[in-house]
Structure 1
Amino acid sequence: MSASGGKMGPSLTQEILSHLGLASKTAAWGTLGTLRTFLNFSVDKDAQRLLRAITGQGVDRSAIVDVLTNRSREQRQLISRAFQERTQQDLLKSLRAALSGNLERIVMALLQPAARFDAQELRTALKASDSAVDVAIEILATRTPPRLQECLAVYKHDFQVEAVDDITSQTNGILRDLLLALVKGGRDSYSGIIDYNLAEQDVRRAEGPSTEETWVPLLTQRNPEHLIRVFDQYQRSTGQELEEAVQNRFHGDAQAALLGLASVIKNTPLYFADKLHQALQETEPNYQVLIRILISRCETDLLSIRAEFKKKFGKSLYSSLQDAVKGDCQSALLALCRAEDM
């Protein structure tokens, strides 16, 4: 935002952020989202517009997308409540009946509280072994502590089981220990004081025999600023990236989980940019990944993710979505992405 309160174009925003060295920080200002609170918000107008969109001659998908992708999550919750009060109908159920396919999935995800959406994604992943590592690391390692606690509370309420019980029964070995440690959320907060001795001790531990007693506490308890210093010192000391050591010493799910967590710690927006790029490279785009990331990051750091995507892959996220995504859901995903990066 400029001092006068006007909006800056995305490319200008990124240019300023990159000069300030903020493009790689996760929501450093809390304004790195593409979706902001809608200023001329009228809950009544929005509720009426959505009602007209589903009760007219045909379903007005563009009106539904326009309203829901231009309001903050908090505003969408207010619209849901107003719709219920005025029509005695549940907005979520009404839209679900009117829509289908990936657009239905996007709208359902937009209308749910963030913690419920996370809880459902986590539960689905833990029950489907092929995506457990990827999704569990993403949710448990990138959500703020309050949002993670809320997600775990909703998980227990909705599924009548603690997330830790599902993790314990569905995973094993280092992966299980890593996920359980992330659920506990005991990561140190950054004090602003650099502890050089601790960094040296951690580098020596990482250089020693590879046991989960070394790696799990290191990657789940130390603050990211400290860990980035450890990663740098490890590389200077051994001549190899910490990730290379993980690849050489671990296999399967344990390796995938440790690499994912290291990637989150080093540069969270780049971690998400890589995941989006991968989801777009598949023969059929992985809509579940695209929907989850764009919706969960559009109010926090999607501008940073876009900047990392363009820098690494030489093509904007907006163009990549435009080329790969087909059907009704394209306009919704493009609206969340917001703009082209030149």
Structure 2
Amino acid sequence: MPRLLKLSTGQEDYNRGLQPTRTSEMSSQWDDLSLLLDSPDSLSHPTRGTIKDKVGFNPNEDAAALRKAIEGIGTTEKTLIDILTQRSSAQRQQICKAYKDATGKSLVDDLEGDTHGHFEDILVALVTPPAQFDMQEIKKAMKGAGTTESTLIEILASRSNQQIKALSDAYIQETGKALTYDLKSEVGGDFGKALITLAEGKRDESRNVDAAKAKADAKALYEAGEKKWGTDEDKFIEILCHRSVPQLRQTLVEYKNLSGKTLQQSIESEMSGDLENVLVAVVKCVKSVPAYMAELLHKSMKGAGTNEAMLTRIMVSRSEMDMMDIKAEYNKMYGRFLYSDIESETSGDYEKTLLGICGSQGA
């Protein structure tokens, strides 16, 4: 097998430490490919969550404690937070079953009846199975006047084939229609084509890298974009939405060696709007899902007002996958701790729940 080509940038001694990085240097964070081929691929192997199975878990005890916290005079929020942020998703499903068996009522219904606002939203998200939660967020993004393209991009660009299949199954069960069918009526053009391709969940999952194919793909992308008058969007969609993550990483390196620019830079200069956004998101997730999520978390909390829907969705959906890595990337990219920013940007029981999911202060 041909030796895989490393990026010829002379940056082999790139600093791996958690050094503060100013926001103005964000582009360089995405432009540096020197460690790309050696870094773990969390799109395929996410294993570093902050929430894990609780040892000595007893669903009946937890269900009884939650019932007491909800039914007492005034809700004991601390009990709800402590239990629901310190049990894995699978354990929370067992608690839901035990709660229903004991009370005849659904835990989701009781949480919705007893809590309010963003606190209610995050507790309900925690007791919803991951695929169901993804499906609900996708459905919400397509409902009503206008589509929330950013939510569709965030979910479909960052999930594995397995996760996309699970959310698609949940979608058809809930609506009676295929997710791809509904997407076709919501999003059009090349952007729609890219999203629907991602929603099919047919990305190659091979771990083997074909160096010659990576070189050919890099050349095809270069000729479809930078070198062409007008852009061949189909070529970008075909390669970026179907190749495996290891294969695409090699292609990103080959592309920079060929063109002197990163593929992300080329997409940003050749395309615009939602198509640019979805293809850049795919490239970022190929590089590092945790860095992509860290960037979105920062965006959800900076500026006037907090985007609680995005904050809740990312904190809950990544809690058992790669939240440890997201915290490390956040610190590296912004020179701040995610925990501290949550403390300063949110409040009350919602804040306490987010901090319970985030885990310790450090990265």
Query: Residue deviations 1:94-122, cap 9 Å, x none?
Result: 11100000010001101111111100101
Q: Distance in 2 between matches of 1:73 and 1:310?
A: 26
Identity %: 28
Residue 302, structure 1, aligned to residue 323, structure 2:
yes
Say whether the 8 Å CA contact 2:330–2:336 is kept in structure 1: yes
1:5 corresponds to which residue?
Answer: none
2:168 corresponds to which residue?
Answer: 152
Q: Name which of 272, 280, 301 aligns with 1:259.
A: 280
Q: Distance in 2 between matches of 1:29 and 1:261?
A: 16
Normalising by structure 1, what TM-score?
A: 0.89
Residue 196, structure 1, aligned to residue 211, structure 2:
yes
2:151 corresponds to which residue?
Answer: 135
Q: Distance in 2 between matches of 1:28 and 1:187?
A: 11
Residue 246, structure 1, aligned to residue 277, structure 2:
no
Alpha carbons of structure 1 residues 304 and 128: separation in structure 2 relative to 1, 3 Å? farther
Residues 20-99 of structure 1: pairs in structure 2 closer than 5 A: 25-26=41-42, 31-99=47-115
Normalising by structure 2, what TM-score?
A: 0.84
Residue 109, structure 1, aligned to residue 125, structure 2:
yes
Say whether the 8 Å CA contact 2:85–2:357 is kept in structure 1: yes
Alpha carbons of structure 1 residues 168 and 91: separation in structure 2 relative to 1, 3 Å? same
Q: Distance in 2 between matches of 1:227 and 1:233?
A: 10
Q: Distance in 2 between matches of 1:270 and 1:186?
A: 24
Query: Residue deviations 1:260-296, cap 9 Å, x none?
Result: 1111111111000000000010321111111101111
Structure 1 gaps, min length 5: 1-13, 16-20
The offset of 1:22, in angstroms, is 8.5
The offset of 1:23, in angstroms, is 7.3
Alpha carbons of structure 1 residues 102 and 155: separation in structure 2 relative to 1, 3 Å? same
Alpha carbons of structure 1 residues 335 and 282: separation in structure 2 relative to 1, 3 Å? same
Q: Name which of 307, 314, 335 aligns with 1:286.
A: 307
Say whether the 8 Å CA contact 2:290–2:329 is kept in structure 1: yes
2:184 corresponds to which residue?
Answer: 168
Q: Distance in 1 between matches of 2:44 and 2:247?
A: 17
Say whether the 8 Å CA contact 1:24–1:268 is kept in structure 2: no
The offset of 1:211, in angstroms, is 1.2
Q: Name which of 291, 297, 317 aligns with 1:276.
A: 297
Q: Distance in 2 between matches of 1:311 and 1:23?
A: 15
The offset of 1:27, in angstroms, is 7.4
2:134 corresponds to which residue?
Answer: 118
1:8 corresponds to which residue?
Answer: none
> Helix, strand or coil for the counterpart of 1:216?
helix
Q: Distance in 2 between matches of 1:87 and 1:95?
A: 13
1:7 corresponds to which residue?
Answer: none
The offset of 1:313, in angstroms, is 0.4
The offset of 1:240, in angstroms, is 1.2
Q: Distance in 1 between matches of 2:161 and 2:344?
A: 36
Alpha carbons of structure 1 residues 205 and 308: separation in structure 2 relative to 1, 3 Å? same
Say whether the 8 Å CA contact 1:22–1:28 is kept in structure 2: no
Number of paired residues? 324
Q: Distance in 1 between matches of 2:255 and 2:42?
A: 24
Say whether the 8 Å CA contact 1:25–1:269 is kept in structure 2: no
Q: Distance in 2 between matches of 1:260 and 1:138?
A: 7
Q: Distance in 2 between matches of 1:128 and 1:39?
A: 43
Q: Name which of 220, 226, 238 aligns with 1:205.
A: 220
Residue 181, structure 1, aligned to residue 167, structure 2:
no
> Helix, strand or coil for the counterpart of 2:219?
helix
Alpha carbons of structure 1 residues 223 and 178: separation in structure 2 relative to 1, 3 Å? same
Q: Distance in 2 between matches of 1:27 and 1:67?
A: 28
The offset of 1:127, in angstroms, is 3.0
Residue 225, structure 1, aligned to residue 270, structure 2:
no
Alpha carbons of structure 1 residues 85 and 22: separation in structure 2 relative to 1, 3 Å? farther
Residues 5-24 of structure 1: pairs in structure 2 closer than 5 A: none
Say whether the 8 Å CA contact 1:38–1:72 is kept in structure 2: yes
Say whether the 8 Å CA contact 1:24–1:270 is kept in structure 2: no
Q: Name which of 322, 331, 337 aligns with 2:352.
A: 331
